[in-house]
Structure 1
Amino acid sequence: MSSRNRKVAKYRRPININIGVIIFFVLFLYIGINVVLYLGKDHLAIYEVVSKTIADDNTCQGVILREEEVVNSTQAGYVNYYIKNGEKVAKNSVVYSLDENGNTDETLADTNGSIKLTAKDIKNIRSDISNFKNNYTSSNYNAVYDFKYDLENAILDYLNNTNMENIENLESSKSSTAFDVVKSKKSGIVSYYSDGMENLTEDDVSLDTFNTDSYNKVMLRTNELIEKDSPVYKLVTNEKWKLILNITKEQYEKLQDKNSVKLTFQKDDLTVTAPVTVYQKGEGYFAKLEFNSYMLRYIEDRFVTVELLLNSASGLKIPISSITEKTFYKAPRSYFTNGGDSNEVGVVKETYTEKGEKTFTFIPTEIYYQDDDFGYVDTSVLSAGDVISNVDTQETYTISETDKLEGVYNVNKGYCVFRRIEKVYENQEYCIVKSNTTFGLSEFDHIVLDASLAVEQSIIY
């Protein structure tokens, strides 16, 4: 056979299947599908339960009325003060001195030597600065001026305290035409600001009173020369005071039947209860509160912001969006028993075999809530028509009646579990519920923020 007649057949390589590549591709496809599904579904947000007190927003502004009078100078001159701001003085006590030529400060400094602040004085000033820094907000810029005023008053108090020790010696050697010591004609509390509203009465208060755009608070302490009959200080002659609140119609209606009200001053978080009367004047609604104490805390204030604690409660704070309802079967309390070989609570279910023989099966179940007559059982444990038996009396009860309970989904264990709640108070956003109730919530539990997205017993992690 010649070589030309030979037929040459091509060699075909066998198909080699790479198992590793196939497994990798399947895993990649599986992961990709799960990522797409994860990104496309709504995710559960978790909320941590905390103990809080919440209340309706009942803030309002008030104007302070006091028995006070501004004392004017008897002559022109330079003033030196010897009483601290907010300090009580008796009748005929030295309050300030007037110096016609302005040499009194030098004379006092010469008689006493250099004036130094004590370590306590410096500590108090630093504390005031720190408190202002921590509580300052740009929305309340006017507080800067109040702080400046308070700080100036404090420093002047420290400096003038030393001068008081030498005022008697200086008075005995003074020239009657150049230097005059002025004493208080009444007892009271000294204040060093004026705002022109010292004579404001309850009858004068109207809606226009609370328009503070033109309100002007003036510091009376000064190192400048003052004219005769210029205001020098203010004297508050009675510690009883009134607070007139500008309230809304809703607040007015809530207060109408009350003889007293609990409120918190926002300035220093002081919470007090005071007698209250409400009235309407023109288009405005007002509440009058009377106090016998705390006047010194607000002696530098004319207007204050307070919160009326009309509706408030303490307990566990949860969002309204977390609350849902769940249906339960009701079973008589006397039908619940403990398992024969365990401490589990449950019911004895009565069934029949194919031969018609009666059997009893213990069904463990949690009691989500119980009243005087019934315990509430999850619908996944029993069904309508199931017959349960009382092991003591041999009586039977057919499951049929249902009821709903309010609750939330607890996710402490990584899956959704219903927990019943007992509301104490609620507003539009949050609710206060009782803590440590049976099958309820405790502080620091984690619950689903939006109950509509939760599926009971579904794993969330």
Structure 2
Amino acid sequence: MAGKEKGKLHIHINLGTLVFLVIVVYLMAYMLTYIGKDKLAIYEVSASDIVDNIEGTGVILRQENLVNAAQDGYINYYVQDGAMVNKNGVVYMIDTTGEIQDYLKKVLEKKNTMSLDEKEQIIEKLKIFSEGYTDNHFSLSYETQNDINNTLLDYTDAMLTEHKAELEEKYGKDSYVEATSAQEGLVSFVSDGQENLKQSQVSEKTFLSKAKMSDLRTNKKQKAGSPVYRFIKGQDWQLMVPVGQNGYNRLKKRAEDNSSIQVTFQKDNFTTTTSYRCLKQNGKYYVILSFDNYIQRYLNQRYLSVSLTLSETNGLKIPSSSLVKKSVYRIPKSFLVHGGNSAEKDQLNIMETNKKGEKVLRQTSAIVYKTNDKYAYVVSKDLKTGIIISETDKQKIYTIKDSDKVEILGVYMVNKGYAVFALVDMVERNGDYCIVSTSGSKIELYDRIILNSDTVKEGQVIY
């Protein structure tokens, strides 16, 4: 007996230890399940829009030409850069002796301060630069520098008009020659040598060269035939933008319904609407924007970066991952009827045959997701293929077919703490997000929806 007792193994397990081990195993199992489970996320519906646009840099085509000096001499201008001149209006004078040039230098040296108006113009140009500058448009800094230099030169030229009578008295009319404009138009004092560029001449090389505008004004003596200003006739101009084959096809298709488009100029964020046409030339694809205004705004630019808005859709923004499809029945709208105590048409009459062989109606409830002039999209526990529904007077019946089963798009709304299917009417989709209509959807701004719809089921309690 003693030997048998000696061979026995006695295991003593404390009850507290056992409970602790059970709790540890449970927690580990829960953690492993949680780690392997898709995480539930909730998204708050926001208002937004999707803009479908094409961006590009185009070349400006205008009616313009360079005007050359009629004879040797120093050139001094009567008008400012960008000014409109009339036919036979005086644009500049040629100082044949150089005496007037020396006189204007002395006057300028005495003028060592700027007027308030001069300062305001400089500040305005710097403000435009600050608002329009981005790292993608660094060239704007050079354009602004040129604008300010032109403004300062304009003040020098303005002194000629102020002291004209004094100059005539001091040096006589024979000391200079006034040059007039042959027709009405705009005057610019910068040139890039592309004044004669025509649409048919535009090629890929046009956009690679990007010749910069240089100032034609100088205090040095000019020879006859030297360009002294650029003349721009009329208000009509065009911007020819390379858009690639895809952009060309999209714009071409859009032009079938709408030949005008919204254009935003990236230089100054100015937006307008204009007509356009598509062109295929030398194997390249272009859109040509036509304008009859704003020519002075971009008078000294040859290249302009623009954004073309093909469409802009406003609505409610939701993640594409929140979308879920639901199978419903599409039935003729007239078969929806009122319930006994309801003002809403949310009931169906199911036609059945009783034991006596009589056709009787049994009313059942339905969830109506949407209706139009002809159909209602519903679900009901009693609807399936072969079921007959009837109008209340039994005059019309309808047999449910397999083809009546369709899918509608929606999301799971969790405003009440559990997942409820809510219909959405998607009007635009762009990558990870989409825009749904505010009028055709059953969700509203700030509603809470399931971000990842595949992680829940309809009716599931969320919190």
Normalising by the smaller structure, the TM-score range is: 0.7 to 0.9
The aligned amino acid for 2:273 is: V
User: Which residue in 2 is equivalent to 1:8?
Assistant: none
**TM-superposition CA deviations, 1:7-26 (whole Å, max 9, x none):** xxxxxxxx9999xxx89x96
Question: In the alignment, which residue of structure 1 is the partner of 2:220?
Answer: 225
Alpha carbons 1:63, 1:210 under 8 Å: kept? yes
Give the Cα separation in 1 of the matches to 2:200 and 2:398. 72
Which runs of no fewer than 5 residues in structure 2 stay unpaired? 1-12
1:204-283 maps to which residues of 2 (within 5 A)?
Answer: 204-212=201-209, 215-222=211-218, 224-229=219-224, 230-254=226-250, 258=255, 260-267=259-266, 268-276=269-277, 278-281=279-282, 283=283
The aligned residue for residue 302 of structure 1 is 302
How far apart in 2 are the matches of 1:446 and 1:219? 61
TM (norm. structure 1) is 0.75
Match of 2:6 in 1: none
TM-score by length of 2: 0.75
Is residue 61 from structure 1 mapped to residue 63 from structure 2 by the alignment? Answer: no
Taking the aligned partners of 2:29 and 2:160, their CA distance within structure 1 comes to 85
Greater CA deviation, 186-195 or 57-66? 57-66
Partner of 2:423: 420
Residue 196 of structure 1: how far off its partner (Å)? 0.9
Q: Relative to 1, partners in 2 of residues 1:360 and 1:165: Cα closer, same or farther, differing over 3 Å?
A: same
* Aligned mate of 1:456, from 452, 455, 458: 458
CA contact 1:49–1:318 (8 Å) conserved in 2: yes
Shift of 1:376: 1.9
Q: Which residue of 1 aligns with 2:412?
A: 409
Mapping of residues 293-372 of structure 1, within 5 Å: 293-310=293-310, 313-343=313-343, 345-347=345-347, 363=365, 365-372=366-373
> Which runs of structure 2 are paired with 1:97-176 in the superposition (5 Å)?
97=93, 100=98, 102-106=101-105, 108=107, 116-118=114-116, 122-157=119-154, 160-161=157-158, 164-175=161-172
Asked if the contact 1:350/1:359 (under 8 Å) is kept, the reply is yes
Answer whether contact 1:263 1:306 (CA < 8 A) is retained.
Answer: no
> 1:49, 1:446 within 8 Å by CA — same for their partners in 2?
no
Name the residue aligned to 2:49: 52
SS at match of 2:234: coil
Q: Counterparts of 1:388 and 1:341 in 2: how far apart (Å)? A: 20
Return the alpha-carbon distance in structure 2 between the equivalents of residues 171 and 405 of structure 1. Answer: 86
Distance 1:242 1:414, change over 3 A: same
Which secondary structure state, in structure 2, belongs to the residue aligned with residue 144 of structure 1? helix
Alpha-carbon distance between aligned partners in 2 of 1:285 and 1:16, rounded to the nearest angstrom = 85
Distance in 1, Cα, partners of 2:79 & 2:414: 63
Distance 1:36 1:122, change over 3 A: farther
Tell me the SS of whatever aligns to 2:346: strand
Unaligned runs of 5+ in 1: 1-14
Pairwise CA distance, 1:198: 0.7
User: Is the 8 Å Cα contact of residues 411 and 421 (structure 2) preserved in structure 1?
Assistant: yes
Provide the aligned C-alpha RMSD in A: 4.3
In 2, the alpha carbon distance for the partners of 1:152 and 1:194 equals 15
Residue in 1 aligned with 2:3?
Answer: none
